[in-house]
Structure 1
Amino acid sequence: MAENTEQAPAGKKGKLKLIIGLVVVIVLAVALSIGGTLWFLQSGDDAETQDGDADTAAAEAFEPSLYYSLDKPFIVTLASEERQRYMQIFVALQSRNQAALDAAQTHMPLLRSRLLTLFGAQDFQAMQTPEGKQALLEEALSTVNTVLEQEGAEPIDHILFENFVLQ
Structure 2
Amino acid sequence: MAKSEAAAVVKDPATKGKLKLIILIVVAVLLAIGLSVGATWYFMHNAQSKPAETAETAATGKQPAIFEAMAPAFVANYNQNGRQRYMQVSITMLGRNQADLEALKVHMPVIRNNLVMLFSGQDFATLATPVGQEMLRQKATASVQEVAQKELGKVVIEQLLFTNFVLQ
Same fold by TM (over 0.5)? Answer: yes
Please show how residues 72-91 of structure 1 align to structure 2 within 5 Å.
72-78=72-78, 83-91=83-91
Cross-structure match for 2:14? 15
Following TM superposition, by how much is the alpha carbon of 1:134 offset from its aligned partner in structure 2, in angstroms? 4.3
Cross-structure match for 1:107? 107
Following TM superposition, by how much is the alpha carbon of 1:103 offset from its aligned partner in structure 2, in angstroms? 4.3
Following TM superposition, by how much is the alpha carbon of 1:5 offset from its aligned partner in structure 2, in angstroms? 4.8
User: Which 10-residue stretch deviates more, 36-45 or 149-158?
Assistant: 36-45
Determine the C-alpha separation between the residues in 2 that align with 1:132 and 1:138. Answer: 10
Contact (CA 8 Å) 2:67, 2:94: kept in 1 or not?
Answer: yes
**TM-score between both structures, scaled by the size of structure 2:** 0.69
Contact (CA 8 Å) 1:93, 1:158: kept in 2 or not?
Answer: yes
Determine the C-alpha separation between the residues in 1 that align with 2:109 and 2:8. Answer: 102
Q: Give unmatched runs, 5+ long, in structure 2.
A: none
Cross-structure match for 1:138? 138
* Between structures 1 and 2, the one with greater strand share: 2
Contact (CA 8 Å) 1:73, 1:91: kept in 2 or not?
Answer: yes
Following TM superposition, by how much is the alpha carbon of 1:20 offset from its aligned partner in structure 2, in angstroms? 1.1
Determine the C-alpha separation between the residues in 2 that align with 1:53 and 1:31. Answer: 34
SS of the equivalent of 1:22 reads helix
RMSD (Å) for aligned C-alpha atoms:
3.6
Please show how residues 7-156 of structure 1 align to structure 2 within 5 Å.
7-39=6-38, 42=41, 50-58=49-57, 65-78=65-78, 83-120=83-120, 121-124=122-125, 126-127=127-128, 129=130, 133-155=133-155, 156=157
Q: Give unmatched runs, 5+ long, in structure 1.
A: none
In the alignment of these two chains, the number of paired residues is 165
Following TM superposition, by how much is the alpha carbon of 1:49 offset from its aligned partner in structure 2, in angstroms? 5.5
Could you report, residue by residue, the CA deviation over 1:78-128 in whole angstroms, capped at 9, with x for unpaired residues? 465694321112223332334532443233233222212332315456446
**TM-score between both structures, scaled by the size of structure 1:** 0.69
Cross-structure match for 1:161? 162
Determine the C-alpha separation between the residues in 2 that align with 1:126 and 1:11. Answer: 96
Determine the C-alpha separation between the residues in 2 that align with 1:67 and 1:81. Answer: 38
Identity %: 29
The one-letter code sitting in structure 1 at the alignment partner of 2:27 is L
